[in-house]
Amino acid sequence: MPLEWSSCPPELLLVVDRSGGPPLRAQVEHGLRDAIRTGRVQVGERLPSSRELARTLGVSRGLVQECYAQLVAEGYLVARPGSATRVAARAAAPPAATQPRRTAARPVADFRCGVPDLAAFPVQDWLRATREAARTMPTADLGYGDPRGSRTLREVLAGYLRRVRAAAADPEHIVVCNGYAQGLALALRVLAGSGVRTVAFEDPGSPATVVPCATAAGLRAVPVPVDEHGIDVAALAVTGARAVLVTPAHQWPTGVALTPERRLALVAWAGDHDAIIIEDDYDAEFRYDREPVGALQGLAPDRVVSLGTVSKSLAPALRIGWAVCPPGLSDAFTEQKLRSDRGTSTLDQLALARLIESGRFDRHLRRMRAGYAGRRGVLLDALAEHAPGVPVTGLAAGFHAVAHLPAGADEHHVVTAARARSVGLYGMSTWRASGAATPAQLVLGFGDVGERAIAEGIAAVGHLLTGRP
């Protein structure tokens, strides 16, 4: 797409040699032809005015006008009265011969996990919040500022987390991050600096994320099994770890909630072992048929680093997250954030603060909760019709479910066969530390899949889920 410019002329880099090379006019003509042929200046793109290019190159305007006239005559440029000189359509270099590109078939449905409904992003609300933030932000906020993040957002987040997640949040101990991945990396580096050598994580869980982050921080990562009550605290106690990453509100990816007894046992483990719990509070806003589950951080503010983001509630592209830190780790966390990137975009932080303060964020969550509940119902109905007898768990919250395949089912075969039918399915083995495909299970994400696609996708692969021919 050609660049569009205001009255300010575009710039074009050309180099002329005054040390005895070819005449200046020949050099300028050659430079322009080369820029057009190589695509540095695209078809339809405006060139600098003759006056501006002459000033930039330190040559006469008449010389540039002669060059432009020559290239117009050769068909490289188009010049019309009252309009800028532009690259002619026929001046484009002929495309290199390539093999015909095969167009991939459009999938019937892609049940990928961890992705919200991207089409439902509240564009108008975000634009309004951004305009309000830009109009009212003090000039001082345009500097680097506090590495912990905007004071305004930290205060708004503290109030929101106290109200919605029952967290013991203090704006002084909140650090705004560029999403969950940075928050986790910062937390692990802080723990490594405090003497921690081993971090545990849930299995199944997120080994592809945790293990590389832990290795980069100089830590050893060990898996701990998860059952129907959440992480096995007794198994955790024998690992020698002094840190653990958990998803207590809606375990990723099994979907179970950490039971009250396990919560208390986990907090007791942290106290007995002088350990830190890293809580990934990733999609707790979306619940359906159960009472709200508060953040684990509210039980032990001095032992829990609680990580949250808007990646599931709004969109991953915003790259805004936060860490609610124990007071004893807050300064070290801030120092790591400062070393990492000196801070997260202040304007985006202020826009998020305005979105939450105005109530438009809560309104968006209510709308999305209803939408996901509808998709959840369609998924259950489709499975009941086309894959009867396949148990489904993990649906009390979030926007993914776990389908348990019959004994003897080959998880990899089901996934591969489904792709041949243009349906994206994902096996639980992806999230097991060992990569084991037994017991055979599928993680079905429905956040970014429409209701019609859900129904059609399950109809297309229902026989695969039940083992029918």
Domain boundaries for CATH 3.90.1150.10 within the chain: 109-114+367-466
Say which residue, 136 or 291, is predicted with more confidence. Answer: 136
Give residue-wise pLDDT tens across range 391-416: 999 988 889 999 999 999 999 999 99
Give residue-wise pLDDT tens across range 46-61: 888 889 998 999 999 9
**Banded pLDDT at 465 (limits 50, 70, 90):** very high
Domain boundaries for CATH 3.40.640.10 within the chain: 121-358
Nearest Cα to 312, choosing from 180, 442, 449? 180
Rounded to whole angstroms, the Cα distance separating 334 from 310 reads: 20
pTM of the model: 0.86
Give residue-wise pLDDT tens across range 430-458: 999 999 999 999 999 999 999 999 999 99
Give residue-wise pLDDT tens across range 171-182: 999 999 999 999
**What angle, 0 to 180 degrees and rounded to 10, lies between the N-to-C axes of helices 360-386 and 451-466?**
40
State the pLDDT at residue 15.
Answer: 87
**Model confidence at 427: pLDDT above 90:** yes
Burial class (CB in 10 A: 0-12, 13-18, 19+), 127: exposed
Give residue-wise pLDDT tens across range 194-229: 999 999 999 999 999 999 999 999 999 999 999 999
**Model confidence at 29: pLDDT above 70:** yes
Could you give the C-alpha distances from 31 to 20, 47, 50, 76, 176, in angstroms and in order?
A: 17, 13, 15, 12, 48
Give residue-wise pLDDT tens across range 243-284: 999 999 999 999 999 999 999 999 999 999 999 999 999 887
**Banded pLDDT at 39 (limits 50, 70, 90):** confident
State the pLDDT at residue 10.
Answer: 77
In words, the CATH class of domain 121-358 is: alpha beta
Could you give the C-alpha distances from 464 to 226, 394, 400, 461, in angstroms and in order?
A: 27, 21, 19, 5
Give residue-wise pLDDT tens across range 73-124: 889 999 888 778 889 987 765 555 556 565 556 789 999 999 999 999 999 9
CATH topology of domain 109-114+367-466: Aspartate Aminotransferase, domain 1 (3.90.1150)
Bridge partners of 46, per DSSP, are 86
Query: Rounded mean pLDDT of the chain?
Result: 92
State the pLDDT at residue 172.
Answer: 97
Instruction: Supply the DSSP symbol for 44.
Output: T
Rounded to whole angstroms, the Cα distance separating 199 from 236 reads: 10
Burial class (CB in 10 A: 0-12, 13-18, 19+), 235: middle
Per DSSP, the residues of 358-412 read: TTHHHHHHHHHHHHHHHHHHHHHHHHHHHSTT--EE--SBTTEEEEEPPTT--HH
Domain boundaries for CATH 1.10.10.10 within the chain: 1-98
**Model confidence at 166: pLDDT above 90:** yes
**Banded pLDDT at 11 (limits 50, 70, 90):** confident
Question: 3-state DSSP call for residue 291?
Answer: coil
Nearest Cα to 249, choosing from 207, 214, 202? 202
Task: State the architecture of 1-98 in CATH terms.
Answer: Orthogonal Bundle (1.10)
Tokens read off for 92: 């484009």
**Cβ atoms of 219 and 271 closer than 8 Å:** no
**Banded pLDDT at 8 (limits 50, 70, 90):** low
Q: Which amino acid is at 109?
A: A
State the pLDDT at residue 270.
Answer: 98
**Cβ atoms of 263 and 304 closer than 8 Å:** no
**Banded pLDDT at 4 (limits 50, 70, 90):** low
State the pLDDT at residue 105.
Answer: 63
Measured in degrees and rounded to the nearest 5, phi and psi for residue 460 equal -75, -25
State the pLDDT at residue 460.
Answer: 96
**Model confidence at 165: pLDDT above 80:** yes
Cis before residue 253, ω within 30 degrees of 0? yes
Rounded to whole angstroms, the Cα distance separating 85 from 66 reads: 13
**With helix as H, strand as E and coil as C, how does 171-222 read?**
HHHEEEECHHHHHHHHHHHHHHHCCCCEEEEEECCCHHHHHHHHHHCCCEEE
**How much of the chain, in percent, has pLDDT values that exceed 90?**
78
Mean pLDDT of 420-428: 96
State the pLDDT at residue 60.
Answer: 93
